[in-house]
Amino acid sequence: MTATLIDGKAIAASWRARIGAAVADLAPQGLRPGLAVVLVGDDPASQIYVRSKMRQTVEAGMRSFDHALSASTTQDELLALVAKLNADPDVDGILVQLPLPPQIDAQAVIEAIDPAKDVDGFHPVNAGRLLTGTPGFVPCTPLGCLLLLHSIRPDLTGLDAVVIGRSAIVGKPMAQLLIRENCTVTVAHSRTRNLPEVCRRADVLVAAVGRPELVRGDWLKPGATVIDVGINRVPNPAAGEGRTRIVGDVAFAEAVDVAGAITPVPGGVGPMTIACLLRNTLEAACRRRGLPPERWSATTA
Ligand code: GUN
């Protein structure tokens, strides 16, 4: 059997188009959602990521406010900028790119962001809202995973879901989303006993541990839907000395013969994250103005 490929690149493009159309519909009311992106320091990977966010924000018809601060920025300076963005009526969403330099306490910065503008969904108020099942912002990567799952299975009710990884950014919110979808959820992690056996129970498997090709083909229930969040750089001697390639947390070549559907890496979860950031920004803009949720706020196409 060869699994259906879940084409994150195409699905993300279709969500961006949908969000762009919703943004265009708001223009006659004089509303243009705005996203502030704050980058501290000059980490090349973060710079590429932030540039991509800003380009896609503008392409969706939203305003992008770019704040690039030096690597020596103090915590007080960053908190002062966050306070200014919280108070700025043109700013609907605030994203402070992580990781931050060592002199800055990232948690203190996250907690300083107005929860109504926290489009990353990292503020404890939003984490709590997800936990209590009340409306709030859901972190972009797990939300993107849910949209991918729904592209294959619009109704997840009753399925056994296994999430590998318990991070605050992916694993824990993913588990909460799957509970909300009426799945029976197991959260596995580095200390889980007999992980292969746990994984074999999964109708839906989400791998978010950051260990290259940890999940093997024989860990999967035949027909399972597999979402691979991993982005791991590994040596690629076949391409030449010192060359690398990107692999997921799932051994794709093995898994594709067992799974019913699977995301590739790259081109699976990755492109969904920014699409969900745009979606959260649009949602923030509407909520802050008391506008009702629209069609784009669904999680199925
Ligand atoms: N660094 C890598 N991914 C992310 C993300 O989704 N949000 C923020 N704020 N920083 C990141």
| Residue 193 within a domain | yes
User: How far is the CA of 111 from the CAs of 117, 125, 205, 278, in angstroms?
Assistant: 11, 9, 31, 21
User: How far is the CA of 198 from the CAs of 160, 185, 203, 226, in angstroms?
Assistant: 10, 11, 11, 14
Indicate the top mutation candidate among 53, 97, 167 to test ligand 1's pocket, ranked by most ligand atoms within 8 A of CB: 97
Cβ of residue 301 lying under 6 Å from some atom of ligand 1: no
Residue type present at position 91? V
C-alpha of residue 227 to centroid of ligand 1, in Å: 19
C-alpha of residue 274 to centroid of ligand 1, in Å: 10
| Residue 133 within a domain | no
Cβ of residue 95 lying under 6 Å from some atom of ligand 1: yes
pLDDT of residue 27: 95
Of 114, 129, 149, which closes a domain? 114
Provide the whole-model pTM: 0.97
Range of the domain at 38: 30-114
Indicate the top mutation candidate among 37, 53, 56, 95 to test ligand 1's pocket, ranked by most ligand atoms within 8 A of CB: 95
- Residues 68 and 190 both lie in one domain: no
Beta-bridged to residue 244, according to DSSP, are: 235
Cβ of residue 138 lying under 6 Å from some atom of ligand 1: no
pLDDT of residue 238: 92
User: How far is the CA of 62 from the CAs of 3, 10, 13, in angstroms?
Assistant: 37, 21, 16
**Nearest to 300, CA basis, from 119, 130, 142, 146:** 146
How far apart, in whole angstroms, are the C-alpha atoms of residue 246 and residue 2? 22
In the residue annotation, 120 being an active-site residue is answered as yes
Residue of 53, 117, 172, 221 marked active site: 53
Beta-bridged to residue 123, according to DSSP, are: none
How many domains are contained in the chain? Answer: 2
Which letter, b or e, does each residue of 99-129 get, where b requires 16 or more Cβ atoms within 10 Å of its Cβ? ebbeebebeebbebbbbbbbbbbbbeebbeb
In the residue annotation, 107 being an active-site residue is answered as no
Residue of 92, 117, 118, 120 marked active site: 120
3-class SS string, 212-232? CCCECHHHCCCCCEEEECCCE
- Residues 102 and 152 both lie in one domain: no
Pairing of strands 232-235, 244-247: antiparallel
SS3 233: strand
In the residue annotation, 29 being an active-site residue is answered as no
- Residues 59 and 147 both lie in one domain: no
C-alpha of residue 147 to centroid of ligand 1, in Å: 19
Cβ of residue 208 lying under 6 Å from some atom of ligand 1: no
Q: What angle do CA 255, 230, 236 make, to 5 degrees?
A: 80
pLDDT in tens, the chain (301 residues): 699 999 999 999 999 999 999 999 999 999 999 999 999 999 999 999 999 999 999 999 999 999 999 999 999 999 999 999 999 999 999 999 999 999 999 999 999 999 999 999 999 999 999 999 999 999 999 999 999 999 999 999 999 999 999 999 999 999 999 999 999 999 999 999 999 999 999 999 999 999 999 999 999 999 999 999 999 999 999 999 999 999 999 999 999 999 999 999 999 999 999 999 999 999 999 999 998 767 667 787 6
Pick left, alpha or beta for residue 137 (phi over 0 → left; psi -120 to 50 → alpha; otherwise beta). Answer: beta
* CATH value at residue 100: 3.40.50.10860
| Residue 214 within a domain | yes
Cβ of residue 37 lying under 6 Å from some atom of ligand 1: no
- Residues 110 and 166 both lie in one domain: no
C-alpha of residue 97 to centroid of ligand 1, in Å: 5
How far apart, in whole angstroms, are the C-alpha atoms of residue 247 and residue 244? 10
C-alpha of residue 46 to centroid of ligand 1, in Å: 8
Torsion of CA 128, 133, 139, 142, to 10 degrees: 130
3-class SS string, 159-171? CEEEEECCCCCCH
C-alpha of residue 205 to centroid of ligand 1, in Å: 23
Of 114, 131, 156, which closes a domain? 114
Pairing of strands 184-188, 160-164: parallel
- Residues 109 and 159 both lie in one domain: no
- Residues 152 and 256 both lie in one domain: yes
DSSP 104: S
- Residues 156 and 264 both lie in one domain: yes
Cβ of residue 168 lying under 6 Å from some atom of ligand 1: no
- Residues 104 and 161 both lie in one domain: no
Which letter, b or e, does each residue of 164-199 get, where b requires 16 or more Cβ atoms within 10 Å of its Cβ? bbbbebbbbbbbbbbeebebebbbbeeeeeebeebb
- Residues 162 and 96 both lie in one domain: no
* CATH value at residue 266: 3.40.50.720
- Residues 85 and 165 both lie in one domain: no
- Residues 145 and 265 both lie in one domain: yes
